[in-house]
Structure formats: structure tokens, C-alpha cells
Structure 1
């Protein structure tokens, strides 16, 4: 019997027009990237906002404009870290249907842990294994050099993800360190609501994925989506943000689990089915 977690209500009036405005705004910023890498963070925000916004009218992510938007967000997120880590003066990055020559930025505030995790989730969803590898080779020291404040657990979490993908070993120990770092006495930056309902569930899902605990994975996935819904409806500002339309961390974990053959008992518009299943893989140049 499937478990269904319905998406919270979101105003659909004018959504198509908003999507087009976002596409145009993102395109304009992307076109400026060859002149300055400082625009990468804005491009990342705009492309990711368009990607999630398109899932309002396309909850299964079954239409080409939606997948194109997700691919563009993935490309920009990866380029942000390629620019921050490259030793050359410029990098070549395919973004939005065109190879662009982007200046190298070096360490900067945009190359931070939060953007790294988002970029990695997008690479997983788009099944971009080369980009996953490139992101996993980003030194944690560079993320610390961003100058942005994050709770310490996130560095252990990223270390666990990088070690898993690059097969470095000690993944379980690093994941335990990350989980321990989410306890109330260890966190000072993230609010308890953000930690419990948005950040922590991905760690629990990853743990169940590593253990191949398929039944518990489904249980935790359903709980994660319910917590996601609660978080994004706790106040008016959150409820009006398109970021809440998709549960990105659980989506990435669901994509990993799908490709590993996990049977799914959870259905939700927070997990667009075509993204979980990688239905559009290979249809766009990435």
C-alpha cells in the first residue's frame, strides 16, 4: 500500500509567466558569466528557483522545459565549484546549451558548504557521475575558506559523502560524526526546526541507503517529506517560497535508491517522479 504525502497548497495563478521571467533572468545572468565568475552564485539561485518553480505546474517533472531547468541548475552549481578550484585562468563549462569560457574565481563566499551540498544533490538527480566526482574532489579546506558560517557537522557530512563516492573508506565513522554533530548542544547556526525537518533527514536516508535497509528507507522517506511539508508551511514567507515545492535532499537520496533497485512505497509531488527515475537522462547535452 503506497504512502502518499500531498504537497502543500501553492498559488498557481501566473505561474507560467513567472517561470518565463525566471528563465529570461537566468539566461541574462548566464550570458554574463564569461565576463565575471562573480555572477555564478546569482545564476545558481535563479536556475534553481526556476527548476523548483516549474514543478508547481509539472509535479511529475515530465515536460522538457522542467528537465532543462534542472539540468541548467546542475550545470551552474558544478561550474561554481569548478571555477573556485581550477588552476588555469578560465574553465570551459557547458551551461544552458552552450559551452562557456568562465574566469577562475578561486575560493570565495559562494563556494560554501550549503551550495556544495545543493550542487551535489543536483548532480545526483541528473545522474552526472563525472560532476559528482569533480565535486567530491573539492577540498573541504576550500569550503571553510568561503568565510561563511556553518555548523561543524556539515563538514563531516560532506566528508562522508565525498568518501562514499570516491571510495575512500571510513564512511560510516564520518557519517556517525556528522549525525553526532546535529545534536542540540553541537549546533549554533542552523535553527532546530531547519536541522530536524530539512537537514537531518538526508543523513538518516543516506544511512538507510548504505545499509540497504529498504523497508526503513521508505519509512524515513515518508517522515522526511512530512517534516519538509511542516517546515515549509510554518509561516507565510516559507509557504510562498518555491524552494519548498521539491524536497531536494530526499529527492537525491531517492534517486540513489531508485538506481540501486529499491522498491518505492512513497508517492509525493515533493519527489517529482521523472526526476527520481531519471526519465530524461541523455535527452539534453550536459
Structure 2
């Protein structure tokens, strides 16, 4: 039986009014993305925000403009990391918004943290970009530590878990156990315990259920993840207006992994855009068939 988790209400008319302004800001950031670190940092933040804002009025992500915004966010996130892991080259070429961009390579930067890497991984999974996942999962965790300063240790354990999963390494379960043990409120140092418990931990538990091929447990953990996502982003008036509450990106990504690997997804929610989950835009993507590492549709 399908479980339905409703999404909180948003003022669609009010949100729609800011889309042109956000798109213009994003376009300006993309103009400088080849050489400017501030532009890259802005593009990372603004590309994801535009995708989320467009999903307010299009909860299923059925409109081409919405899909294009998610793909652009994926392209930007992948590009900035690709530019960090090519020390023998002066530039790398990435396709962003239907254009070839030549990004100057760089070393550690504050905006390239483990948290940003996790978002990049999630977006690549949602957009089924296997080539991007191959690239991301070969970025050393030591570089992520240098990029983003001091973060909660769970973030690095979760990165190692996702890398091991995608590359089919034998140490996957060891990293997963470590991520589970570290992603608890009493281990929080830079995040608050509520964010750790309700936003960070649920995707980890979903992957645990997925690896066990526990269909019932996986769907229960997905529904729980969406409820906790909603609880977190509706806890007070300040959170209710934050655009990051629109889509549960982590749970969506793990659900996409599960679906691509044969586990039925029996949960519906506005936090889980249907067209993204089911990859309805297959054929309308620049995603490339990667290696035989992980499995996507």
C-alpha cells in the first residue's frame, strides 16, 4: 500500500514572483564561473535554490523548466569539484546549461566542503549522471577536509560510505556503521542536534535498509525521513520560509538509487518529486553512461 506524506503549503504566487530575480542572479554567477571563486560559490548556492523555488509551483517536477533547473544545479555542483581534482591541467571542460565551459583548476576552497560534496552526489544520483558520480567518488576525503574546514565527523564518514557504495568497495559496511554511529545528536559539533537527527541521519538509515534489500523497512524509513524533513522545516515560522524545505534531497537521492536497483518505492510526497524519482526526463539529459561501478537506470 502506498504511503502518502503531504508537503507543507507554500505561497506559490509569492514564490513565483522571485524566480526571475533568482534566475538573473544565477546567470550573473555563471558568467564568472570559469575563473572566479566567488562566482563559483554563488553558482553552487543559487543553482540549487532556483531548482527548489521552481519545484514550489511544480511539486512533481513535470515541467521542462523545472527539470532543466535540477540538471543545471547538478552540472554546477559537479563542475566545481571536477576543477579541484585535476592538478596536471590548467583548465577542465564542463557542460553547463548547454554550453562548454572551461573552468580554471583550483586547490582547496571554503565552498567545497563535505556538505557540498554530499549535495553534489545527491544531485548526480537524482539526474542519473553516472559520469559525474564516477568523478565525485574519486575525490579523496583528505581534500574535502582541506576544502571545508572543521565539520562534524559524520559528514566525512557519510562521504566515505557513498564513495564505497558507488565504487563497490569491500569497506562499505564498515564506513556505513561508522556513519550511523557518528550521525547522532550527541556527536553534533557544528550542526544542531535537531538537524543531525531529522535531516542528516535519515538518508543513512535508508541506505542501510536498501543494502539489506528490506523492501518494507526501506519504505518505512523513507516515509519516516520525509516526515522528519517536514517536521524540521515547519518547526517554527523562520524555518517555514526557508526554501530548502521544499524537497527532501537526501531521501530523494537514496530513493532514486533504490528504484534504479530494483527496490519498489511505495511512498508519495510533494517532498519527493515524481518526475525526478521516476526519471521521467530520460533522454532529455546530458548525463553520460559512466563506468560499471554503481548502478543507475
Report the TM-score range of the alignment, normalised by the length of the smaller protein. over 0.9
Contact 1:58–1:66 (Cα < 8 Å) also in 2? yes
Aligned residue number for residue 128 of structure 2 = 127
Residues 1-150 of structure 1: pairs in structure 2 closer than 5 A: 1-87=1-87, 88-150=89-151
Secondary structure of the residue that 2:4 maps to in structure 1?
strand
| Alignment partners' CA distance in 1, 2:37 and 2:92 | 10
Q: CA RMSD in A?
A: 1.3
Deviation readout 1:71-108 (Å, 9 max, x if unpaired): 00000000111112222111111111101111112111
For residue 159 of structure 1, report the CA deviation from its aligned partner.
Answer: 0.7
1:222-241 equivalence runs, <5 A: 222-241=223-242
Say whether 1:207 aligns with 2:201: no
* TM-score normalised over the length of structure 2: 0.93
Q: CA deviation at 1:37?
A: 3.8
Find the counterpart in structure 2 of residue 245 from structure 1. 246
Structure 2 unaligned residues grouped into runs of 5+: 288-297
Q: Secondary structure at the match of 1:93?
A: strand
Alpha-carbon distance, 1:27 to partner: 1.4
The 1:34/1:183 distance shift into structure 2, 3 A limit, reads closer
Specify the SS of the correspondent of 1:4.
strand
Asked if the contact 1:38–1:105 (Cα under 8 Å) also holds between the matched residues in 2, the reply is: no
- The CA deviation at 1:38 is 3.6
Task: Supply the distance in 2 between the matched residues of 1:214 and 1:231 (Cα, whole angstroms).
Answer: 26
Please list every run of 5 or more consecutive structure 1 residues that lacks an aligned counterpart in the other structure. none
Secondary structure, aligned partner of 1:14: helix
Paired position in structure 1 for 2:158? 157
Aligned residues: 286
Check the 8 A contact 2:4/2:268 in 1, yes or no: yes
